[in-house]
Chains A and B, each alone.
Chain A
Amino acid sequence: MAKDLTLLLLLALPLLGFAVNGLFGKNLPKIMVGSLATGVVFTAFLLATTLFSGLHGTQIVHLFNIIDFDQLQINASFQIDALSVWMTLIITGIGSLIHLFSMGYMSHDEGYHKFFTYLNLFIFSMLLLVLGSNYFVLFFGWEGVGMCSYLLISFHYNDAQKGLVNSLAGRKAFIMNRIGDVGLLLALFMLLGQFNTLEFLQIGAAVQQNTALQGGAMFFITLSLFIAATGKSAQIPLFTWLPDAMAGPTPVSALIHAATMVTAGIYLTVRSNFLFELAPFTKDIMLYVGLATTLFAAFMALRQNDIKKVLAYSTVSQLGLMFVALGFGAYTVALFHVTTHAFFKALLFLGSGSVIHGMHEEQDIRKMGGLAKLMPVTHFTFLIGTMAISGIPFLSGFFSKDEIMAQALHHNAFAYVVLVIAVTMTAIYMFRLYFLTFHGAFRGGEALKSKVHESGLSMTLPLVLLAVLSVFGGLLNLPGLFFKGAAHWFDHYLSHSTFGLSEVHNVHLDFNTSIGLMLFASAVAIGVMIWAYLNYAKRGALAKEDAALSGWERLSAQKLYVDEIYHAAFVKPLLALSDFIGKVVDIQMLRNGIYALADGILHSANLTRKWQTGFLSSYLFWMIFGLITFIAYYILKLSVWH
C-alpha cells in the first residue's frame, strides 16, 4: 500500500474507534467495545511497522489547505520520517498493550465505553501531534491531548467520595497545561513572523541557509517552546499537576503520564533541534531546570506512601533527566531514554494497576506487603521494571541512563554530580516501593488478604510483554564499547532521516572513561539494591507513620510544600481578586453606578418638567427671553467680537 494511504489510514483508525464507541458504545456489549478500541490501535501499530520497514528519507503527505493566502499558507499535512514513525510505534504499540490491560482493569466500571472512547481520541490526538509536518498540526494535537488528559483524569467525577478530588485534579492538569500552551502559541506567532511559514522542513531549510539569524529572536522562540514543554512534560515550575493526575484510573496514568503525553515536550524539542542549536542560552536553561526537576522530584518520592504517587514523582524525575540530555544537545540520547522509559514506566504503572486491582482499590503501601506469593506474575514483572529504572546493568534503563551520564561527565562536572545523586535516590525510592509492596508480612488485615488474587490474562499479558521490552530494550542503542558493528543503531536510525539531526554529533567518551562510568553506575545501582534488601526485607523496616517522620522526611512526604506555596502565591490572590471584582467592582461600582446614573437622569427630568407650567404668560416670557438672547448674541458678534 502506498505510504500516504497507510498514514491516513493510521490516523483514521483511532478516530473511527472514537466515533463508533462514542456514538454506539452504550448499546454494544462490553467485549465488543474493548476489542474494537484495542483492535484499531493495534492495527495502527501494524501499519506503523510497515512504514517503519519502508522508511526512506522524509516524506510529506498533504491532506488539504487550512489557510491559503499569498503570504500565508498553513496545511493539514503530515510527515513520515524516522522521528515521527518511531514515536508512532511507541504510541500505538504501548497504547495497544494498555488498551488490552484496560479491558480487564475497567471491566467492572460503568463508563466502560466512555473510557475507550476517550482513550481512542487520545491516541488520535497524540498521533496528530507526532505526525504533523508543521507546528499548526502539532498544536492541534497538543491541545487535543491536553483535553483528553483532562477528560480522563477526571473520569470518575461522579465518585461519591473522591469525585471532587478527581475533578479538581483534572482541572489542575488542564490549567497548568494551558499555562504552557501560552508559550507554544507565542512561539508559533514568532515563528510565523520570522519565517512566514510553520512547516518544519521549510523552517529548517531557512535556518540553515541564513546563518546570520539574530540570536535574540531565536532565544525567545526557543524559550517559548521550552515553556510549552515545561507545561506538558511537567518540569519545574509546572509539575504539580502530574502527581495529582494520579487520581485518574491507572491505565490513564500509564498511557498518558508515563509513556506518551508527557513526552510531547521532548518530541517538540527534538523536532525543533535546529532552532535550539542556535540558542545555547536556552539549552543552558533547559539543562538547569532539568537538573533541578530531577533532583527535587526524586527527593519528594523518597517518602511517598501511595504507590502511584511514587511512580508519578519518578516520572517527573525521569523527564527531568531527559531535559538534561536535551540541554546538552544530545537529542537522540534523550529520545532513547524516552523509549526505554516508556517501556519500564508503563510496565511499572500497569503493574501497580494490577496490584491495586488485586488489593481491591487500596493504594497505600503501608497496607500492602508480602504480595510476592499472592501475585507472582505481577511481582516478577514489577521487579524487572524496578531494576530497569534503577539502572541495574544490562537492562534497558542502564544503557539509556549511562548515555546521559556520559554526556554530563563530558560537558559539565557539576551536572554529573547532581545526576549521580538523583540516580541514587531513584534507586532508593524504587526499591523501597518494591520491597514494601511485595515483601514482608501482609499489613492490610486478614479479611483483605483472602480476597487478594492475581489478575487475569488481559492484564498480565501486557505486563509480560513490557517486561521483555524493558529487559532487551537496551539493544537499540548499545554503546560503542562492545558490538562495534551494531552499536548506536538508534542514533544512526534517527539522525539519518530526521531533519537537523544529521548535523548533531553526540559525545562519545574514550574507552577507559566509559568503562569507569559504567562500573560506577552499576556499583551504585547494585549497592542500593543490596542495601534495600537488607533494610526492608531482612530487617523488616516499614514505612513510618506520619507522626514519626523526622524533619527531612516530612519535607519529602509533604512534597517540599510546593502545592501549598503555589496555593498561597497564586491561587489565593487570584481568588481574592476575583472576589473583589465580583463584590466591589461589579456590584458597587458598576451596578450602583448605573443605578445612580439612571436616578440622576430621573431627577433632572423631574426638575425640567416643572418648566412646563401650562401658563401662556410664562411661555411668552421665555420666548421673549430667547429672542433677547438671540439678538444680543448677534449684536455682540457683529460689533464687539469682530
Chain B
Amino acid sequence: MSLQIISIILGSLTLASALMVVLSKHPIRSVIYLVVTFFFITSMYIMMNAQFLAIVNMIVYAGAIMVLFLFVLMLLNLNKEMEPMNTKGAQLAAFIAGGSLFLVLITALKDTLILGQTYRQQDNSIGLVKELGNLLFTKYVVAFELTSILFIAAMVGAILLAKREKQIIE
C-alpha cells in the first residue's frame, strides 16, 4: 500500500517537472528541470528493481548529457528569454495532436493483460547487474561491439562539426 502511494507521488512529480521543462522561459531552467525529471525516472527504475539501468541513467543522462547541454548553453551565451511563441493556431494544433496521442495510447491498453497487474519487488531479479551482464555478453555481444563503432563515429562527427573553419584551412 505504501509502495503504491510512493509510486504515485513519484509519478506525479515526474510529470510536474517534465511540464516545467516544456513551459519554462529560461533555457537554463529547462535544463535543471530536466535533470530533476531524470532523478525521478531513476527512482521509478529503482522501484522496479532495474538497478543497473537506474545507475546508468543517472550517470549517462543526468551526468554527461545534461552537463553537455549546460556547457553549450553557457558557452554560446544562449540564456536569453524565450522568443515569441508560435501562433495560437500552431499551438492549438500541437495541443490537440498531443492530447489525441495520449488518448490513443491509453486506449491501446484497453483489454490488455497488463492492466491491474502488480508485482512484488523481491520476485524480480532480472534488473541486477549479474543477470544483465550475462545477457549482454552472450546474446547481444555483437550489438555491444557495434556500439563502440557508433561512438567513434559520433565523436569524430562532433569534433569535425564543431571545429572553426579557419583552423581547418591552416
Contact = CB atoms under 8 A, between A and B. Distances in A.
Nearest to B94: A621
Given A631-B108, A635-B108, A639-B111, A621 B93 contact: yes
A77 B108 CA distance: 85
A624 B97 contact: yes
Nearest to A624: B97
A617 B110 CA distance: 31
Contact of B100 (A617, A628, A639): A628
A482 interface: no
A639 B110 CA distance: 9
Interface string A616-641: 01100100110110011011000100
A7 to B, nearest CB: 88
A617 B101 CA distance: 16
B86 A617 contact: yes
Contacts of B94: 617, 621
A634 B93 CA distance: 23
A631 B103 CA distance: 11
B37 to A, nearest CB: 20
Contact of B90 (A617, A625, A639): A617
A627 B105 CA distance: 10
Interface in B82-102: 86, 90, 93-94, 97-98, 100-101
A125 to B, nearest CB: 83
B118 interface: no
B101 A624 contact: yes
Given A635-B107, A635-B108, A639-B111, A627 B101 contact: yes
The SS class assigned to the A binding surface is helix
A631 B93 contact: no
Contacts of B108: 631, 634-635
A123 to B, nearest CB: 89
A628 B86 contact: no
Contacts of B86: 617
Contacts of B98: 624
B83 to A, nearest CB: 13
Contacts of B105: 631
Contacts of B93: 621
A437 to B, nearest CB: 103
Contacts of B107: 632, 635
Interface in A557-584: none
B104 interface: yes
Nearest to A622: B97
A625 B104 contact: no
A624 B90 CA distance: 14
Interface in A254-305: none
Contacts of B110: 635, 639
Instruction: Bin the interface of chain B by size.
Output: 10 to 19
A628 B108 CA distance: 11
A86 B26 CA distance: 117
Contacts of B100: 628
B111 A625 contact: no
Contacts of B97: 621, 624-625, 628
A635 B90 CA distance: 28
Contacts of A625: 97
Contacts of A628: 97, 100-101, 104
A621 B107 CA distance: 20
Interface string A381-424: 00000000000000000000000000000000000000000000
B102 to A, nearest CB: 10
Contacts of A639: 110-111
Nearest to A623: B97
A122 to B, nearest CB: 86
A632 B104 contact: yes
A632 B101 CA distance: 9
Nearest to B98: A624
A639 B108 CA distance: 10
A625 B99 CA distance: 11
A635 B104 contact: yes
A98 B156 CA distance: 100
A617 B85 CA distance: 12
A639 B100 CA distance: 19
A635 B107 CA distance: 8
Given A621-B97, A624-B98, A625-B97, A631 B104 contact: yes
Contacts of B111: 639
Contacts of A621: 93-94, 97
A631 B97 CA distance: 13
Nearest to A630: B104
A508 B131 CA distance: 123
Contacts of A631: 104-105, 108
B44 to A, nearest CB: 24
Interface string B37-51: 000000000000000
- B90, B98, B104, B107 interface centre (most CB from chain A within 10 Å): B104
Interface in A462-491: none
Interface in B106-139: 107-108, 110-111
A499 B49 CA distance: 110
Nearest to A618: B90
A625 B104 CA distance: 11
Interface in A304-318: none
A453 to B, nearest CB: 107
Contacts of A624: 97-98, 101
A628 B98 CA distance: 9
A78 B97 CA distance: 89
Given A617-B94, A628-B104, A639-B110, 8 more contacts: A617-B90, A624-B98, A625-B97, A628-B100, A631-B104, A635-B104, A635-B107, A639-B111
Q: Which 3 A-B pairs have the closest CB atoms?
A: A624-B97, A631-B104, A628-B104
Interface of A: 617-618, 621, 624-625, 627-628, 631-632, 634-635, 639
10 contacts: A617-B90, A617-B94, A618-B90, A621-B93, A621-B94, A624-B98, A625-B97, A628-B104, A635-B104, A639-B111
